[in-house]
Amino acid sequence: MRPAHPTETAVGMEYYVSDADGVGGRLREADDHFRVRELERFSTEPVDASTDAYPHLVFRATLTGWDTNDFASQLSDALGVSRERINWAGTKDKYAVTTQLFSVYETDRNELPDVNGADIEVLGRAGRALEFGDLAGNAFELVVSDAERPENAAAITDELAEFGGRDNGGKNDSGKDADGDGPAQSIGVPNFFGQQRFGSRRPVTHKVGLAIARDDWEGAVMAYLGNPAESEPEGTQEARRFVDETRDWQESLERFPNRLRYERSMLHELAEHQSQESGDPGPETYRAALERVPSNLQRLFVHAGQSYAFNLMLSERLERGLPFDRPVEGDVVCFADRDAPDELELPDVDREQRVDERRVRSVTRHCERGRAFVTAPLVGTETELADGEQGEIERDVLDDLGLEPGDFDLPGEFHSTGTRRAILVRTDLAVERDPLALSFALPKGCYATVLCREYLKVDPIELG
């Protein structure tokens, strides 16, 4: 175990679990160096099935250079239909080659347009639209560009295999060396929330969320409007410094660039208050400013605060030397999703059990076989903390952050009941050497960069 990059420690990822030096390099040198394929669990009827019973056309699209939302907008414009008629299970990034499912309400296969950068395969029809629960996970094929020490991949793989609890001496099922081309080796990494959760270049969303949970609406707004980051253009940094120093909302609105539309939405609300009333805005005005941004971003603020606390809990568990692949007394585990695709070990957090002294051995066997997973909380109003040493960790982290579960009893989109999340993600990893490439699959909600950071050990910006 070794200290993480400073940018990662700022969002709660305080360690790498592998001691070997990283291979260096970067991801996403080209779109086809980052390939993502959805692992779905969604069945369809034949394409000629009744449109009355099965009104949704389902197709698989392989997209190059398309953000999922932008592709859906292009598709709705080309079809001349509302964007609300198009659905998908998971949102994918623009700078990649992505393969995912879409459904379109009341559309015929012959009406699908040709879209540049999109290869479309019609699968059939369905009685309902796609939704988030239909995504089980994602399979990745990633190329590491300009790796400085590619030979280190073998040692890292061996360390991650041991951490995942399935060390096989550096051999995969076929008996080939783990650093050579061929079938995969089982590895494990802490199931951290990746840098993207908090903002890759300006990690502040968790600061906003923590302020909201503390009922500090002014602090939440200023965490988002201020806090200039060195990675931003100088003009943006100057605008953030100005709003920090002056609270002159109208003048700040003139200074913030148009591309920062969420910040400008908040400033509009504050400037309107400033023009109508004297004195500083109160909590209700600051809250109204936050509510000017889209509802999904409002939820993201709180989720990022929960994710930061979760990362800190995992880092503390690492520091104390507690296992991730098996429980200790007091842990809360969840069991595997029985309907998961073969490529995945998929936790079902709705099926939980608290591990007392009598159950440690039996639950350990379930964990070894991929049938159970140790969890930590994404704290919300319904969270019940663990017992034993893990419970101490959870309570200490919340105490340090000045939080308790009841603090998430928040208005509107900010409210969160919480859930639990597996602390370990295990996958079968294949490593190729020329060029250096990593192939693996992860459950939904897990971050490819959290696995890749162990191999590259670089500034998170280089992980994309």
- Residues labelled as active-site residues: 93
SS3 for 435?
coil
The CA distance from 269 to 233, in Å, is 25
With both helix axes pointing from N to C terminus, report the angle between 388-401 and 295-320 in degrees, rounded to the nearest 10.
130
Which residues, 6+ apart, have CB-to-CB distance to 312 below 8 Å? Answer: 12, 14, 397, 400, 401
Place of tokens 């879409």: 102
What b/e string do you get for 266-277 counting C-beta neighbours within 10 Å, with b at 16 or more? bbebbbebbeee
Residue 261 identity (one-letter amino acid): R
The secondary structure of 144-194 as a DSSP string is -BT-S-GGGHHHHHHHHHHHTT---TTB-TT--BTTSSSS-EEEEEE-PPP
Q: How far apart are CA 2 and CA 18, in angstroms?
A: 7
Short-list 188, 201, 193, 164, CA closest to 13: 193
